[in-house]
Amino acid sequence: MAAKPKRKTGPITRAFLKGLSIILPAIITIAIFAWAWDILRVYVVESTIQAIDAVKVYPARKLSDEELQYLPDEFFNVVKNGNGEPVPEVIHAEINLKRTPRVMDLPVAYHGMTPPGKERSVLQAILDANKWSREYDPVSGRVVSYNWFDYLLASVLGLTLVVLLGFLARNFIGRRFVALLEWFVTRVPVVRSIYPHAKQLVEFFFTDNKAIEFDTVAVCEYPRHGLWSICFVTGAGLKTIQDHIGQRTVTVYVPSSPAPMTGYTMILPADDVIQVDMSVEEAMKFVISGGVLAPKDELIRPASGPQYALTRTINEQIRKRQTAILQKSRALKKIEQEVTDESDKDSKEEKKEEKSEAETREVEVKKDEQPAGEEK
């Protein structure tokens, strides 16, 4: 069945698609980084901030004169004189407070400070000293969002702790401590069915001395003979299978497209697996894109006919045909010019020969006329 010709797109549509092809990779990259940062922010950075805030080493901050003067009179006790009579003027002093004010009771400029009456951590004391504000709930005084300094300090502390933990885990005492911790975790009923697999997955991607090197890209005939699929060599197979078939075997992982996180693990004879000269990253791009993003070294120039029509657009074919016609036209013009030059050259040669013959005849005539004059 003949393929339908592709519908021609207008210049605006082509410009829009070209713009999308330029801006979408940047947007996708930013979105991935934002998603990763959001996970780290919630589960690592903010947890570190909360751990720091849990250690209260500073007393509650003292209210400023501006805050005390802003509070209504009902927040303060009535002061009596020596006779037991109440003083007409209410004294706005912190020592005279009847009850602790909430965040909503303070001036707006102080809503980001640590709520009154609450002991402070080192981080909260630094923020109050520099007048760097957080966002607190107006009623309960709980933290709603943190300051940029909170995230900066927690990120630095988190990275430092991860590096220190890595150094400690490399020596004998650290390894013993990690082994003891893992022994304890694997004894918890629900956790022990998840933790070992999560640990194996993390070690697979982040550990240097991994048992399986995920760095060999190959192809194998799957799911049937004649169909080739990208695969990764992950091991040497199983001894039982190798002894049974009498050939060297390999374990391969065939990723699914476009989600390579899922796939199939197979054990094949090593002779049935062909290694491909491409990196894991290039192979992943090839699988995720459905074969569109192939490495440059592996690209094949499409043949003519149906294969060419499938891999090239009609416009490209027309442009190539127009180019071929133009080249032929130029070649014909060149040949015509050469023929014209040859014709002009022949014409000049003929004129030269005619001139030469005329001169020869003239000389002969003169010679014939000279003897006749002498006889007279």
**If you write DSSP's letter for every residue of 114-154 in order, what string do you get?**
PPTT--B-HHHHHHHHTT---EE-TTT--EEE--HHHHHHH
Amino acid at 191: V
Distance of CA 197 to the CA centre of its chain: 26
365 part of a folded domain: no
Per-residue model confidence (pLDDT) at position 134? 93
CATH at 290: 2.30.30
Structure tokens at 232: 């990764």
Per-residue model confidence (pLDDT) at position 375? 46
Q: In this structure, are 74 and 151 located in the same domain?
A: yes
Structure tokens at 2: 């003949």
DSSP conformation letters of 144-204: EE--HHHHHHHHHHHHHHHHHHHHHTTSHHHHHHHHHHHHHHTTSTTGGGTHHHHHHHHHH
Per-residue model confidence (pLDDT) at position 323? 81
Beta bridge partners of 274: 219
In the numeric block, the tokens 């006889």 are attached to 375
In the numeric block, the tokens 């950075």 are attached to 45
Q: In this structure, are 187 and 275 located in the same domain?
A: no
Q: In this structure, are 154 and 173 located in the same domain?
A: no
User: What residues in the chain have per-residue pLDDT under 70?
Assistant: 1-8, 82, 201, 204-214, 301-318, 366-376
Closest Cα partner for 125 from 68, 48, 57, 49? 57
Q: In this structure, are 135 and 92 located in the same domain?
A: yes
Q: In this structure, are 137 and 230 located in the same domain?
A: no
Query: What is the span of the domain harbouring residue 283?
Result: 216-307
The backbone torsions φ and ψ at residue 310, rounded to the nearest 5 degrees and listed phi first, read -75, -30
344 part of a folded domain: no
Domains in the chain, number: 3
Q: In this structure, are 174 and 72 located in the same domain?
A: no
Could you give the C-alpha distances from 289 to 126, 228, 258, 293, 334, in angstroms and in order?
50, 16, 7, 6, 47
